[in-house]
Amino acid sequence: MKTLVFALTFLLSVPVVSLAADAPATKTPAKPARSAVDPALEAEHTKEDVKRHRIMAAAHEAAAKCQESGKDEDSCNAELAKACKGIAYGKYCGMKHPD
């Protein structure tokens, strides 16, 4: 008798559990935050980044040509660091972002 009661209780509770799982969420998802950055300032920042990337690309191209010419790697890296001074960091001319 206990087994029958247990089985009936179990079978009657299964649909309730499955309905609870399918219930829609009561909270609506939050809207993503809007950017507080002025689009004009962002465009100017992008222009500056593009300019610095081009300067760095030219410096890296010059370093590649330096190494192709057979010069010592240390002297080529020194020239690279000098060409990137103020716009990049490290002896391998990594991009430096102000923000």
Q: What is the per-residue pLDDT across 74-92, written as a single tens digit (0 to 9) for each?
A: 999 899 989 888 888 776 7
Q: Is the dihedral of CA 72, 75, 81, 83 positive or negative?
A: negative
Tokens of 59: 């410096």
**Residue 89 main-chain phi, psi, to 5 deg:** -130, 160
Q: What is the per-residue pLDDT across 19-64, written as a single tens digit (0 to 9) for each?
A: 555 556 677 777 777 767 788 888 999 999 899 899 999 999 999 9
Q: Is the pLDDT of residue 8 over 90?
A: no
Q: Does pTM top 0.85 for this prediction? A: no
